[in-house]
Structure 1
């Protein structure tokens, strides 16, 4: 099948590469010429395990191409995926300007029937706006609006496991309308996703608005579990309980399960923060407060400061002259995504208190450097207090303590003898509960986890 992907960012690249892998002819569009130049020269502008190899394989086979040519992209695909960004607006709502612009471009150039697929994470009612924008452009040209049908097909991709999630999905959600055009679009989508349903049917068909809400509901539920566990972990610290024992005790209940029950320094990334905020904003627009989600957001913001509070309790508020090693910069492992990363809050707060930071991350350091330059814009003195090294052990040299912000596998079993030798004091502030307090105590390491009672 001929497929166009509008937007060659995280979702667009993964979607395009994986659909090409199934034998489809995929045209990926992006209006950023630098990004397209990188892709056409064999590079990939994001880090995602397995994605680069898949892109190379399908480009070589002629099934995947990248371009900035809007007219060519519309002409190419019978199915047009809109996978552009929907950043949060100032009021917390999703900014749909890029989605609507993509829709208008389709309406300006299409001459044959198209299935338009909202792949971007968008609030309920967006499909109506996309349809309206395309219809307006078609009517300007004297064409029938029945030429297109808008489908909602939200993505459920975990950063760091996105290729695997797409190729072996636990569910595929497709929202269509019960109109002749909608039924034709449903059949086209069924054909496109047939290779992913060979073992068993994974597709859930529903109306468009239900599909749009499903995506937000899923992310809001996961974010809620994280904030819930963080609240319990903070309480465990106060009452002397061990949150790991609590996690195992409640996770064993089949009604609850273990997923997303890991306390830490709060969630970040491109999805949970903006999706929780956007869903709450949508509710307010309809005269309803989602009090649980407002609390989820508030807890998450507080949690990003939890390691700083523990460091203050140990060393005091004035950290002048102190140096901290920081392991992990990305908001989660297996990605270089620094959006809403807790490490940015930790770095800013420690520097504000006079400390210097030596950081290491397996893949996110270039992106982290760019983000920190934005965070410390106009304050070069603060920026100079943060350095990065190419080896995690080298980050420890002469530092007063180790701070862990991301649970990369490389941090799970370090040489603790070396850790103790390199640090001036054997102290670890573990924001991801990678280590057992009892083991740390036996080694002579002063250990501070999240809700872990020694």
Structure 2
């Protein structure tokens, strides 16, 4: 099948690479000159670069322009939410092509956008729009795309449903994971999904605050909650809140939609408020531990990206935490396997020279007064505490993801602060 994919996101690159890998002829259309962006995203996302390059070498995947693919029968929109204007422009141009077409929108645009896009492509060409919400997470995009828990198809067209079922047949063999909804229901489901997951995160973080006030170990509470089959353990980890480009944006947009429709959005607003406050947890703990004076203190930040296996620091706690520490007179040393460049770029220019970027976690801890774990990359799970202790000025661990056993760390001679831990 001849397809065109539009976008330069990880989801777009994954869509193009995986569909080309299953034998389709795929053309990738990116906005402007994005080769550096593509190279970076391909290199960071596990398993994506070899799949992408193999498809290119086989001649099944190529980078091209809209004019070369406008007449293709299938088009995927997988661009960023802020690129809605580009999507509308593309839809208008596709309507001028030759032959019937199916436009599959995997981008997360506001609820109702599908109707506007459908109106743009409703011409003599006989085009139909399908909403297929993107549930592919960064860090495991290829795995999630090829082994989906669900594929939602928002369409009223039997022909479009049949086309997508055939296209996704290689990923829909063990059991039927395809569900057909109305286009607007599919749009809403994407926002509701992220809002539900964000709510779970803010809930357990609020419980962690209560656990500290009651001198209870939140890990015991988490185990008790998660073992209830109605609740489960997913997204039930206390920490520094959620970041990244999706959750906060989608929850805020859903709250706005509630207000616009005259529905009370208090709960979602509280989810966002709890999350923003949670990003300050480690600073507050350090501030109290050092007697409300951080002038001259040195802190090592382990993990800068908003989650492991990502190079993005969008809405991550690392940037505001570093800024706050520097504002209090502290010095900051940082390490991350993939996100140091994005982290430095996200800092105000006047502060960049005050941050020391280190090649290893151990180097970041040298002469530090405390190590702050922000992102639970695998390289941070089993540090040599004895060796680290010898190079630190004051051995203190601020565990923002609760990955370290408190008793083990304290036995080595560190003071330990987790999120709701005893």
CA positional deviation for 1:211? 0.8
Relative to the length of structure 2, the TM-score reads: 0.97
Give the 5 Å matches for 1:317-336.
317-336=292-311
Size of the aligned set, in residue pairs, is 422
The DSSP-based 3-state class of the residue aligned with 1:399 is coil
1:141 maps to which residue? none
Against the structure 1 CA distance between its residues 215 and 43, is the aligned structure 2 distance closer, same or farther, given a 3 Å change threshold?
Answer: closer
User: What is the aligned counterpart of 1:84 among 79, 87, 112?
Assistant: 79
CA positional deviation for 1:193? 0.9
Give the 5 Å matches for 1:7-406.
7-33=7-33, 35-36=34-35, 44=41, 47-67=44-64, 69-75=65-71, 77-87=72-82, 96-108=84-96, 110-135=97-122, 138=123, 144=124, 147-177=126-156, 182-372=157-347, 376-377=348-349, 380=350, 382-406=351-375
CA positional deviation for 1:101? 2.4
Moved more, 313-322 or 259-268: 313-322
CA positional deviation for 1:37? 6.7
Contact 2:105 2:130 in 1 (8 A): yes
Contact 2:344 2:352 in 1 (8 A): no
Runs (4+) of structure 1 exceeding 4 A deviation are: 42-46
| Coordinate RMSD, CA, aligned | 1.5
CA positional deviation for 1:392? 0.7
CA positional deviation for 1:407? 0.3
Relative to the length of structure 1, the TM-score reads: 0.90
- Taking the aligned partners of 1:23 and 1:326, their CA distance within structure 2 comes to 44
Against the structure 1 CA distance between its residues 444 and 54, is the aligned structure 2 distance closer, same or farther, given a 3 Å change threshold?
Answer: same
CA positional deviation for 1:318? 3.3
- Taking the aligned partners of 1:431 and 1:37, their CA distance within structure 2 comes to 32
The DSSP-based 3-state class of the residue aligned with 2:137 is coil
- Taking the aligned partners of 2:52 and 2:346, their CA distance within structure 1 comes to 27
Against the structure 1 CA distance between its residues 291 and 213, is the aligned structure 2 distance closer, same or farther, given a 3 Å change threshold?
Answer: same
Gaps of 5+ in 1: 88-94, 139-143
Contact 1:420 1:445 in 2 (8 A): yes
CA positional deviation for 1:317? 3.6
**Cα deviations by residue, 1:89-138 (Å, 9 ceiling, x for unpaired):** xxxxxx73233223223224x11111011100122211101112233xx4
- Taking the aligned partners of 1:43 and 1:319, their CA distance within structure 2 comes to 36
Contact 1:304 1:342 in 2 (8 A): yes
- Taking the aligned partners of 1:102 and 1:114, their CA distance within structure 2 comes to 13
CA positional deviation for 1:289? 2.1
CA positional deviation for 1:311? 0.8
Gaps of 5+ in 2: none
Contact 1:124 1:209 in 2 (8 A): yes
CA positional deviation for 1:52? 0.6
The DSSP-based 3-state class of the residue aligned with 2:12 is helix
- Taking the aligned partners of 1:317 and 1:187, their CA distance within structure 2 comes to 64
- Taking the aligned partners of 1:38 and 1:211, their CA distance within structure 2 comes to 29
- Taking the aligned partners of 2:43 and 2:85, their CA distance within structure 1 comes to 23
- Taking the aligned partners of 1:310 and 1:322, their CA distance within structure 2 comes to 14
CA positional deviation for 1:303? 0.5
**Cα deviations by residue, 1:195-243 (Å, 9 ceiling, x for unpaired):** 1111111101111111111111111111000000000011111110001
- Taking the aligned partners of 1:158 and 1:441, their CA distance within structure 2 comes to 35
Against the structure 1 CA distance between its residues 262 and 37, is the aligned structure 2 distance closer, same or farther, given a 3 Å change threshold?
Answer: closer
Contact 2:385 2:409 in 1 (8 A): no
